[in-house]
Chain A
Amino acid sequence: MSEELEQKIREEAKKLLESGEVRLVVGWGKGSAPFKTTPVFIDKPEDVDKLVWNPACTNNLAVYLPQLVKEGTIGIVAKPCDTRAVVTLLQEKQIERENIKVIGVACSGIIDESALKRAGIDLAEVREIKIDGENLLVTTNSGTQTVPMTQAEKEACRICEHRTPVFADVTIGEAPTAVEPEAVENMGTPEERRAFWAKQFERCIRCYACRQVCPQCYCAVCFIDRNDVRWTSKKPTPAENWMVHMGRALHLAGRCIECGECERACPMDIPLMKLNREVAEHVEKLFEFEAGMDPEAAPVFGRFEPDDPDPNEH
């Protein structure tokens, strides 16, 4: 099934390149390990065989769009979450509709190395991974292990409600049967929450991988880097780290499309999706707005309604 979709993706990419509609197609290519892929930038029709589609196609390629579209129309292979990122970029006028061609792909979940490790897989022993229904088959040096996708996938995928692209010029594949997204676990009393997040942010080394992989973090000068106004210091103390992550969560409110790349990219395994998911739920509850669904919609904090939730009623 995966191979069929892969073939279709290559065909679509070839069409776009041959017709000259796009100057290049950004998609995923083979990575340096069986459980990895890497972004590839195809500008020749004969190179489309470099494109792959498998449960390791994790990168949100929309992160490259604002820069790439400056030099012509770009084709992008996009998972449903990635298409939501494209929609948000359109809403915020970072890209123009006529400058992109979206090859949307239906998705049943993307694996996460940390999750695989927790499921007891030794990554050094892995030879091949393959999706089989709701399971991941991991072939290692000592045999094949079956890991349910719910254990092998990114946290963001585990709670994902969008298995089909929400916006695309062409959609490949069909949504797998609807999965009941698992609720985010309740984190308890205010004290428990404070203790939890204090422990998490303490680990932050301020590498900014989370920010750099995020398609929504495109500011020319991020608030973290500003010197004219010092929102936060460069020293990685728990207090400064708190400010960085809270500020980021705030700036992503109503914009985060929950692809989970931030959490995956974090070298210190900070569970960023927990926070981003909660914020997204607040936005949905307060303003009935879901990020990245309608390219014509105005950004949620760029407008208001007369009957918005009011502090007096809350």
Chain B
Amino acid sequence: MKRIVYREWRLQPERYWGLLAILGAVAAIAGLAALYMEHHGHWVTGMTNQVVWGTPHVFAVFLIVAASGALNVASIGTVFGRTAYKPLGRLSGLLSIALLAGGLMVLVLDLGRPERLVVAATTYNFKSIFAWNIFLYTGFMVIVVAYLWTMAERKVNAYSKPVGYVAFVWRLLLTMGTGAIFGFLVARQAYDTAILPPMFIIMSFAYGLAIFILVLMFAYHQDKRPMGDVMLFKLKNLLGVFVAAILLLTLMYHLTKLYGTKNHGVEAFILMTGGIYTAMFWIGWILVGCLAPLGIVYHPVLGKDRTWIAAACGMVILGGLAAVYVIIIGGQAYPLEMFPGKTILASGFHDGVAGAAAWYSPSIPEVLLGIGGVAVALIITAVGVRVLQFLPESLSDQVVDPHVAAKG
């Protein structure tokens, strides 16, 4: 295929600095929110001794999962040899690092003692998946930087494939590690399942790709670079496949849990009686996150309209946030089943009297911190494409597809 020319993002300076200013303000507010939570203690948040992980963790896990999925596009080009995707590899790597950085920032700032990050980095209990995740996340950053280098530096282009393979495998391990955070917990009915690691992998494919498409469309539109239908529709159709896979794994998760009587309580909670969690599941996870985007992607008319495609990506993202909310917070809200066959009449520690779910409501500092993570990820991406030659000059059909080029 034609040699791809990469250029820095040439957005007008006023608009670029304006964008950075807005994102910077959001990130700064998040920093203040984190300081507020750390100084006073977590009593200022909605988190309690029953729901110990709240909105910051929803954002953090979402960003981390999306980060691994964002690298998918580069992997398709390098590992699976699809030439059409190769020009997108650099942005893919940058976006994955940016999203991971944003997610980790939120996670670390929500710790009860964030000043002990050095302790976390030097003292390890290797039976803990958290400890492994520290290595998986930081190692991922190093490997993706190396991957980007092999892609961008011509002298080491030959190493792009082996490094790409390592990055691909590492990414799968990382996402499985994130899913295993919950999958390994025997204590809670919603967790304790081997399907969570692969489900997180499939979710990462969809969420990462949706964010990637939106970032790509925005960057090209602002810089007036051509993006042809061939490339866009490839990505759109791929998104459709991934979203369908999410539906499949969600179905598997719930059908398996529904089969065993011991899980009927938690399934009824999530699917029927859980109030906000049920709404988030059906409307957020299933309808907005999966069915509507599928409908758009495979619609003969809407699926070819750029605005609708962007809307579908946005819906996948919202649905992803809802899904992570249901998994993390819904999973905690449902009471522990300590006395099967018995009902709890009274408890001094909110053990689920009469099966009642634990209370949780997102507080403003938590939401601000979570959004700040998104802002940090976008700042890194914006600065990266501005300063580095990561965006192909053109993704028009002639450039992307040799058949079109031959005809035209």
Are these two chains actual partners, yes or no? Answer: no
Q: Please report A residues at the B interface, Cβ cutoff 8 Å.
A: none
Q: Please report B residues at the A interface, Cβ cutoff 8 Å.
A: none
